[in-house]
Amino acid sequence: MKWGLMLLTVFASSCGDVLCASGMSEGVEIHQLSPSGILRVIRYIVSRRRVIFGGLCYAGAFFSLLALLSVVPLSVAVPATALSFVIDTLAARFILHESVHWRRWIGVICVFAGIVLAVNPAPSTRPSSPGIASVKANKDKSRHNQSGAHGLDQKGAAIEVLPKPRWP
């Protein structure tokens, strides 16, 4: 499910980018930010089908990103969505027929390598931490003693509820 959400987020975002870019490139350039210039741009945006569909794709990407954040950590979700930079560059070259300089391709390769490094789980160098069952057992042990409101045993020493971290 998480890989499907990642791909949905990436492709919806990339589709939104390509549709909006192609729709906005047909029109007039924005030269002035006066109220009349802004109204002219808004009229242009709402009259272009590709720009509207691009906005809908962005909305889909946003909601799939929210769903993705509910199943994977932020440190995985956001780098995974950076794959849209790679797809956007490929789409710019082959769909929009833009000229992409070789240095930009090197940047795309670097981004892709960074995505692979960030999304793949790294082998753990630390020993595995105890599971939830052992933490619960320690909590039950501290509740069993019930000799104080702050988790003290009969001698007044603090009971270790969570194991101390083991550093390499």
pLDDT band at 168, cuts 50/70/90? low
CA-angle at 118, arms to 114 and 123, nearest 5°:
125
Give the range of the structural domain holding residue 154, as residue numbers without chain letter. 128-168
Judge if 112 and 139 occupy the same domain: no
Flag whether the pTM goes above 0.85: no
Mean pLDDT of 100-126: 86
Report percent pLDDT > 70 for the chain: 71
What is the model's pLDDT at position 19?
Answer: 96
What is the model's pLDDT at position 147?
Answer: 47
Of the candidate ranges 5-19, 54-68, 107-121, 141-155, the one whose mean pLDDT is the lowest: 141-155
pLDDT tens-digit series, residues 125-161: 555 555 555 555 555 555 555 444 454 555 555 555 5
Judge if 133 and 111 occupy the same domain: no
User: Over 80: is that where the pLDDT of 58 sits?
Assistant: yes
Judge if 83 and 146 occupy the same domain: no
152: which strand partners?
158
Closest CA to 120 of 72, 165, 85: 72
CA–CA gap between residue 98 and residue 126 (Å, rounded): 47
Judge if 93 and 51 occupy the same domain: yes
Place of tokens 């981004």: 111
Contact between 31 and 40 under an 8 Å Cβ cutoff? The reply is no
Judge if 85 and 137 occupy the same domain: no
Higher pLDDT, 133 or 111: 111
Closest CA to 69 of 6, 4, 112: 6
User: Over 80: is that where the pLDDT of 79 sits?
Assistant: yes
Helix (H, G, I), strand (E, B) or coil at 130: coil
Judge if 96 and 23 occupy the same domain: yes
User: Over 60: is that where the pLDDT of 12 sits?
Assistant: yes
Judge if 52 and 113 occupy the same domain: yes
Judge if 100 and 146 occupy the same domain: no
User: Over 90: is that where the pLDDT of 68 sits?
Assistant: yes
Largest CA distance in the chain: 80
The winner for highest mean pLDDT among 28-32, 72-76, 129-133, 162-166 is 72-76
**Exposure pattern of 27-48 as b/e (b: 16+ CB <10 Å)?**
eeeeeeeeeeeeeebeebbeeb
Judge if 24 and 65 occupy the same domain: yes
Judge if 13 and 67 occupy the same domain: yes
Q: Rounded mean pLDDT of the chain?
A: 81
Judge if 151 and 96 occupy the same domain: no
**What domain count does the chain have?**
2
Judge if 41 and 8 occupy the same domain: yes
